[in-house]
Amino acid sequence: MGSPTEPKVDEVSGRKLALIFKLIGKGELNITPLIDHSVGVRYPYIEKVMELKPEEVRELLESLTAEKLLKKSLYDKVFACPKCASINLSPRGLCPYCGSFDIEKKRLLEHLRDGTKFVVNKLFEGVKPVCPRDGMELEPHEYRVLASWFECNICKRKFDTPEVGFHCITCGLDFKAREGEFLEVYSYSLSEEMSDYVEKLANLKILAESFTSAGYNVRFIENLEGLSGSMHKFDLVAYKIEKGKEIKVVLDLYKGEGEVDGSVVISMFAKVLDVKPDKAVCVAIPSLSGVGKNLAKQYNIEVVEGSSAEEAASTLSKLVR
């Protein structure tokens, strides 16, 4: 936490944060696409919660990714029109010689009982071919396919495999498979930086209860102006009016894998010195180094430790009561 890549929350617009918090609120951290051939790539859930059009959603997700709030992963690649990028395509088989779409698939069948060989044009599943000699409708076990090929109705040539082509329903372009382009389709999830930030906010909310139950008003990620005129950001600022005087408590939260390094106290002290709050609290989860604790004592910064935010909150409650 507190790494340089952490998203600058105050620079993220309210609309974007609203999306993030809606997603978190619903436990919906993975945004998956729906490939809707008539509209394009859609994210129906975001369309609904944000009341946005499909193309606006795509732009929003891309800009959130650029700001490192979301990360994207490749979900699918779809064929797209090389002219207008539409994915509203109708596939067709084309004659590899003259390019016509007017081709037939032909099969040579043999009626097993009487040895009659005959050609059929279409053989959809469940359709029974009719033997031209005896007029019998043949079940699958009564005939076999001797050969299959394609034939062009225009140039009359025969071939094994048709060329695959597409007709773009959006712009009308006809193109061959090898002329098509691919469109990447992505799913999105919270970036690691954002997950850290979200976790931090969740922990701050737990800590905030210690203040609110003691009659404080609480603000998260608050910028305060110091005596020098510079702005300083604190993770949490709590205010209370007591006997006509405003009491202001600032709090920074640090979380480490093991004990939190004492240097955090030094950077906090620089801000505290300028802002001069009534009380400054450094919360370290799970603990602060011995050096850090000594520095905090000298600088008059209260230290609260706890293996979890809940544990720290119960210590904090005694401190702000």
Residues that bind Zn ion (CB under 5 A): 81, 83-84, 86, 95, 97-98, 100, 111, 114, 116, 131, 133-134, 152, 154-155, 168, 170-171, 173
- Is 85 or 270 the residue whose CB approaches Zn ion more closely? 85
Distance between alpha carbon 230 and the CA centroid of its chain, in Å? 36
Shortest separation between residue 69's beta carbon and Zn ion, angstroms = 33
- Is 115 or 229 the residue whose CB approaches Zn ion more closely? 115
Q: Residues, the chain, total?
A: 321
Shortest separation between residue 181's beta carbon and Zn ion, angstroms = 10
- Is 56 or 181 the residue whose CB approaches Zn ion more closely? 181
Whole-number Å distance between alpha carbons of 283 and 260: 10
One-letter amino acid at 287 equals: S
- Is 101 or 220 the residue whose CB approaches Zn ion more closely? 101
- Is 69 or 89 the residue whose CB approaches Zn ion more closely? 89
- Specify whether the CB–CB gap between 245 and 276 falls below 8 A: no
Sign of dihedral through CA atoms 160, 147, 141, 111? Answer: positive
Q: Which H/E stretch holds residue 300?
A: none
- Specify whether the CB–CB gap between 40 and 230 falls below 8 A: no
Shortest separation between residue 53's beta carbon and Zn ion, angstroms = 20
Shortest separation between residue 42's beta carbon and Zn ion, angstroms = 18
Shortest separation between residue 33's beta carbon and Zn ion, angstroms = 20
In terms of Cα–Cα distance, which of 189, 192, 173 is closest to 181? 173
Query: Given the DSSP bridges, would you call strands 89-94 and 117-120 parallel, antiparallel or unpaired?
Result: unpaired
Residues 6+ apart with CB under 8 A from 50: 15, 18, 19, 22, 57, 60
- Is 87 or 296 the residue whose CB approaches Zn ion more closely? 87
Place of tokens 């225009």: 154
Shortest separation between residue 37's beta carbon and Zn ion, angstroms = 12
Shortest separation between residue 35's beta carbon and Zn ion, angstroms = 16
Tokens for 57? 């959603």
Backbone angles phi, psi at 163, to 5 degrees: -75, 135
- Is 63 or 170 the residue whose CB approaches Zn ion more closely? 170
